[in-house]
Amino acid sequence: MTATAKARLKSQARVLKALAHPTRLFIVEELSRGERCVCELTEMIGVEMPTVSRHLSLLKNVGIIEDEKRGTQVFYRLMTPCVMKFLGCLGGVEASFRK
């Protein structure tokens, strides 16, 4: 394996690892419908705000989402909508596996 391929695959693995949690998948799906503030996501998920913030930070650090501060609130939006195609593909894999 070349150094370039190794670096690319390592980066892709980081993205997959960031997606590998049901709460983060929920956040990505929700943000695909439009931007949300942390307070909305916290209410939807039903956990404490620091927990939601940690999930958001992981997704932001790999480039899946971005944030924008407006006054005292922080709003998040999906930065790479193509991730939804990947999640759709996962649904196909899961359906195929169940057969």
Query: What are the pLDDT digits (tens) for 56-79?
Result: 999 999 999 999 999 999 999 999
Tokens coding 79: 């930065």
Q: Residue 81 has what pLDDT?
A: 86
Q: Which numeric CATH code is attached to 3-98?
A: 1.10.10.10
Closest alpha carbon to 83 in 61, 56, 65: 65
**What is the structure's pLDDT at 27?**
98
Question: Where exactly are the structural domains of the chain?
Answer: 3-98
Residues of the chain with pLDDT under 50: none
State residue 94's pLDDT score: 77
Residue 49 is predicted with a pLDDT of: 93
pTM of the model: 0.88
pLDDT of residue 93: 79
Give the position of tokens 């169940």. 98
